[in-house]
Chain A
Amino acid sequence: MNIDDKLIDYLQGLTRLELTDDERESTKLDLKKMLEYVSVLTDTSSLSMMEYEENKFTFISETELRPDEIEPSLNRTDALKNASRRTDEYFVTDKTVE
């Protein structure tokens, strides 16, 4: 598969990342190698020797959800502690609505 600038731009947009020129070139090469390797899975004929079953999610053991009851949670002071921008009550972000 060809990893070109257009695809890198598309992925940068989705991941909210911006690569430097050096990072972009090395990423193109590495993604190409990695996708070539994992493409073994895209050839269904190569899987034909195995019993091919449609994906179904089966969990390994029985689990239990906790009761739907209100319990003490993080208090506001603690929740705000690690924020770079905050007031005593809120996280502060850039304006999102004009």
Chain B
Amino acid sequence: MIEYEQDTIADAFTLNTGFRNNPYNYYTVALKQIRALRECSLFRCKLFPVPEPMPINGGGVETFQTVAAYSTARYTVRLIPNSYVWGLAYVEMQTNFTQTLGRSATIQITDACTGLDFFDDFLIASAFEFFRTTGSSYPPNPFPSILIQPKLIQDPGLLNVQVSNRVSGPLLCQLVLFVAEPAIREGMVK
């Protein structure tokens, strides 16, 4: 029989204690939806980049894979089964790794266990972007973008991520999945 303790918010997930409780602000309301994740003690936060950095040119230089022009690249992310995906962030870069304002990609994420898509259709990736150019009339998105409800990823813990490049040049980009993965010893819970 497990004895559960009462605990305070450890908040290893957003690392931001400056949010006020504003019912008209999506971020603070969404933050409440992941309260269990913020308070739990047996899940740890881990970030998964998609695509992963990989060595090119014989391994001398490390860079990101690019998504070819007019193509849709498919990646598979392996998580520990029973992990929660709770946030997303997206960034587009130039070849010298300078961050640019992303307008080039659409993304779709599918849970391999249930076959369910995260989004109804491919979504403009800049929805998860936190970067804005100087002088932009739009405020920057809070970092990271929190899903309305954390997604539980069951065994085998695989996520299929598709990134579609809509423009005529290769796309250097990275999607970051914010995941709470269980840090549980064998036999601790059922």
Say whether A and B bind each other. no
Residues of A within 8 A of B (CB): none
Residues of B within 8 A of A (CB): none
